[in-house]
Amino acid sequence: MTEKNLLRIEFGCLADPLEDQLRGQGYHIPDPNSVKRLSAAMHSLNVVYIYGLISDSARSRALKKLMKMICEAARSLEGSA
């Protein structure tokens, strides 16, 4: 298990912004465009789920993929200036 597998991200509508959740765990995403893209994906999944456009299982699969993308983009705050 790698260190990034220990990340916990909440995806609900009332969850803190992605950047805040990562920083609270000692991580960040250095590329601002990636942060915007991943945050927009989180928001979009919430919207289509709330409106009933995707099922629970489809949302679950999408969130797993999104979490993988977040983990790949996240970097430790240690050593970053």
- The per-residue pLDDT for range 1-22, each reduced to its tens digit, is 255 458 999 999 999 999 999 9
Residue 67 is part of which domain span?
3-76
Domain assignment present for residue 9? The answer is yes
User: What is the rounded distance in angstroms from the CA atom of residue 11 to the CA atom of residue 28?
Assistant: 17
CA angle 64, 21, 71 (to 5 degrees): 40
Determine contact, residues 3/26, Cβ cutoff 8 Å. Answer: no
What pTM does this model have? 0.87
Q: Report DSSP state, residue 53.
A: S
Domain assignment present for residue 81? The answer is no
Q: Domains in the chain: how many in total? A: 1
- The phi and psi torsions of 12 (rounded to 5 degrees) equal -65, 165
Reported as a single tens digit per residue, the pLDDT across 46-78 is 999 999 999 999 999 999 999 999 999 999 998
38 exposure class (CB count in 10 Å sphere: 0-12, 13-18, 19+): buried
Domain assignment present for residue 56? The answer is yes
Domain assignment present for residue 34? The answer is yes
